Amino acid sequence: MKRVKLDKIGSAAFRAGISRDVYLTDEIVTEEGYVVAGRVLNDKSAYNQLENSEGRMVPLKSGDCIAGVLGHRNALHGYEGRLPEKVNRGDLIHVLNLGGVLGECTSYNPDVGTPFEVEVLGAVLHFPYIGKRVGIPAHIKLKAISNDLNFRKVPPLH
């Protein structure tokens, strides 16, 4: 387990409820929605921002330590990519959108240039058990809004 201070957290990771001070593990679950930390390896002049967990657009630059969410993305005007079969510490993946979806870029629009490359540092851990140092890989479903639409009935207006 390694402790890291994140420079930026992508908005895609917002529902994982992580802070900028995180612990990482090398045991990465390669499934959509799991949060990983990585170091940005290149600079860009176009499509060079990240929407952070507070909804603000912030510039990304080489050396930034970020948290993003593993996933895939279909796009016409940006980056298209997929979730790799396996992700390990040290692997290179790409930032596929402004919210911080991370995966393997399969195609891109030349107007936005090649994507940011990210060196995977590890999976971000969540600690659900108070007083115990037992962490589980963080996932965006951890603080997700219930999909039960009947949780609160609003009376009709008269």
Q: What is the residue extent of each domain of the chain? A: 2-137
Q: Can you tell me the distance from the alpha carbon of 158 to that of 96, in angstroms, rounded to the nearest whole number?
A: 48
Find residue 79's DSSP bridge partners.
108
CA 104 to chain centre: 13
pLDDT over 80 (residue 154): no
pTM greater than 0.85: yes
Nearest Cα residue to 112 out of 132, 94, 87: 94
pLDDT by residue (tens digit) across 87-129?
Answer: 999 999 999 999 999 999 999 999 999 999 999 999 999 988 7
Q: Are strands 49-51 and 8-9 parallel, antiparallel or unpaired?
A: unpaired
pLDDT by residue (tens digit) across 130-151?
Answer: 777 788 999 998 776 666 655 5
Helix (H, G, I), strand (E, B) or coil at 10: strand
* Cα–Cα distances in angstroms (integers) from residue 123 to residues 65, 81, 109, 146, in the given order: 13, 20, 29, 25
Nearest Cα residue to 119 out of 65, 45, 47: 65
- Burial of 19 (C-beta count, 10 Å sphere; 0-12/13-18/19+): exposed
